Structure 1
Amino acid sequence: MISIHPLCDIPEIRAGDDLAAVLRDSLAKAGLWPLQTGDVLVVTQKILSKAEGRMVALDSVEPGAQALELAATTRKDPRLVELVLRESSSVVRAVPHVLITRHRLGHVMANGGIDRSNIGPGDEDRALLLPLDPDGSARGLLAALAGPEAAGIGIVVSDSFGRPWRHGVVGVAIGAAGLPALVDRRGEEDRDGRRLEVTQIALADQIATAATLVTGEGAESVPAALLRGVALPEGDAGAGALVRPLEEDLFR
């Protein structure tokens, strides 16, 4: 039986905070420490980015010519657009109120993954960027929380993405450690003995979405959750395995 436990008492995270220590304290207060086999800790991107100092004051950003042009098209703040371009490898779509890019990590997403909601108090206009290396950050958290000999324990760094042809956002994994983010079941047989030819399971995305049932998307102030009782397959492929290579892009 899988259970989902919100971590509700995490304080406002600031640059340089020891996020592993904060999470450990929160888990202990919730009666969930120590971690055990079948636990997956889901940490939202925002608190990870805050701890890693990925906050940018917009007043410090000087928009370039491309940013000014795209800002006129999308009707967005030119400073924000400049940050989006810096974080992205290409622009996928730019229309009024919409700017979709391919992030440097490979994700195709709105505004280069840059967020301005729920980023904490402050007088200046600020924006929060994605972590530089979410998979590496997940590995660091796993080592700090579960130790080098951890087995059957995982970390997922989650974010919220929209999807083509579907309304609404869902949780996705942008970082993972201690579990195979993508489970390849090709070659197995279904219950009728037919060989599976294309089935790959986005396990880390499934876990990230399950956690959003308690972390929420608005003012819930629940930036992490523990899934307990998850039967984790063997493997330790990070969330980078979930990104479809450009050569497999079917829509360009």
Structure 2
Amino acid sequence: MTESRLVSLFALPGLPEIAAGDDLGMLLARALRDERIELRDGDIVAIASKVVAKAEGRAVEISGRADHEGLVTEQSNRVVAERLSAAGTTQVVRSKAGPVMAAAGIDTSNVEGGKVLLLPGDADRSARELRRELAGRTGAHVGVIVTDTASRPWRVGVSDFALGAAGVNVLDDLRGHADSDGRTLKMTVRALADELAGAADLVKDKTLGLPVALIRGLGTYVVQDAAEHDAGRPGDEGAAPLVRDDEDDWFRYGHVEAIRAALGVRTGEVDSPPIDSGVDDLPSRVKRAIRVASAGTSPLSGTAGWVMRPIASGAAVRVTEAQHAAGLVKAPEGAHPMMVATAGLGALLQRLDAALWAEDLRGDHVIDWRPDGLPDHATVTIRLP
């Protein structure tokens, strides 16, 4: 007979509004005592990163949207995707904290006016310190998870995940184990700490001032040698193992950003599409594709000899020889100018095809030729896929 499991989750009331410099361990221990809750070995404390960040003084004053976007850049390692809205540019980035998040996890809710809240500087360290403090005050060997909220690719809505952890096995590697039919599992690695964070969020409530939850009944996932609180011990490496390395990330960029990166377009060189695709008309999409195809870098100098412009209200693109193109583009030694011009036009049309694809458009191109064999111009008819 399969052993049943009973897991209990409950929010911890009684925690005051947190300010910079507050002793979270002491405040949690006091709230537990006031609520007559006794921590037990194997309990897991899930605490919102916002509370940790406030105690660590991570609130920053800003004077406007430009400051906010500057902070996002400062707290980011790489832009994954970005879109425009009426309020400005929204970016999904690989944050310096590790996870891929919108706006690098910078929070504006429940923060004093004129300020925003950065993520904790090192959420794993914060979790270790809180675990050590709780062990010292209560004598219980517990796990600690610092949680945050993020949206998810391919799914609507947000969910909590483990930003930092201490004393908890964050991954449950089932590879090599047999399933109920006796087949060997080859791929299954459960994101255990994220599942715990998501479960805890069912009882936490930011609107009611309940940022902490206690999970009971899953002590098997808590590291039991609680006398040690050093980073990097086997089974207690913090939340870092949950973050997929760039080289293993199949989805490093959004589809628009992947095309732009391949064409050598730098972040911010061309405006991003709007968040609401419904407000983006055909002429705007075609003009943006032209800017993307014309920007960045091309391996062929001949592309500079041609210019693109939308015609027929964005229903087509005309590609013509640039004014004074002969002076702009010089054939490399040993190359025929006609070949350079022809290759450049072909390369530019291919760049435009790629840029149109990122706008969910397609192009059918026709080249008109001169009697001397040189390309005269090209017309690209735009169509929906």
Equivalent-residue separation in structure 2 for 1:147 and 1:105 (angstroms): 28
Q: How many residues align?
A: 231
Runs (4+) of structure 1 moved beyond 4 Å?
A: none
Please tell me whether residue 132 in structure 1 is matched to residue 121 in structure 2: yes
Identify the match of residue 40 of structure 2 among 36, 45, 57. 36
Q: Is the 8 A contact 1:138 1:175 kept in 2?
A: yes
Write the letter of the residue equivalent to 1:107: P
Q: Among residues 44, 50, 55, which one is paired with 1:51 in the alignment?
A: 55
3-state secondary structure, aligned to 2:207: coil
If the length of structure 2 is used for normalisation, what is the TM-score? Answer: 0.57
Match of 2:146 in 1: 157
Query: Counterparts in 2 of 1:19-30, with a 5 A limit?
Result: 19-30=24-35
Which residue type is aligned with residue 7 of structure 1?
L
Q: Does 1:247 align with 2:252?
A: no
The reply on whether 1:215 has 2:220 as its aligned counterpart is: no
Partner SS, residue 175 of structure 1: strand
Q: Report Cα offsets for 1:2-37 as digits up to 9, x if no partner.
A: 11111121111000000110111111122222x212
Task: Find out whether 1:5 has 2:10 as its counterpart.
Answer: yes
User: Which has the higher relative contact order, 1 or 2, with Cα contacts under 8 A spaced 6 or more apart?
Assistant: 1
Give how far 1:151 is off: 7.6
CA-based RMSD: 1.9
Structure 1: state its 5+ residue gaps.
62-76
Which of 72, 85, 105 is the matching residue for 2:97? 105
More divergent stretch after superposition (3-12 vs 132-141): 3-12
AA paired with 2:52? L
Q: In the alignment, what sits opposite 1:68?
A: none
SS of the residue corresponding to residue 15 of structure 2 reads coil
Q: What whole-Å deviation, never above 9, does each CA across 1:24-79 have from its counterpart, x for those lacking one?
A: 1111122222x2122000010011000000000103x8xxxxxxxxxxxxxxx111
Structure 1 residue 229: deviation in Å? 1.5
Q: Normalized against structure 1, the TM-score is what?
A: 0.87
Which runs of 5 or more structure 2 residues have no equivalent in the other structure?
A: 1-5, 224-234, 253-385
Given that 1:185 and 1:200 are in contact with CA atoms closer than 8 Å, whether structure 2 keeps it comes out as yes
Tell me how far 1:152 sits from its aligned partner. 5.5
Alignment correspondent of 1:66: none
In the alignment, which residue of structure 2 is the partner of 1:64? none
* Higher radius of gyration, 1 or 2: 2
Question: Retained in 2: the 8 A contact 1:151–1:178?
Answer: no
Provide the rounded CA distance (Å) in 2 between the counterparts of 1:11 and 1:151.
23
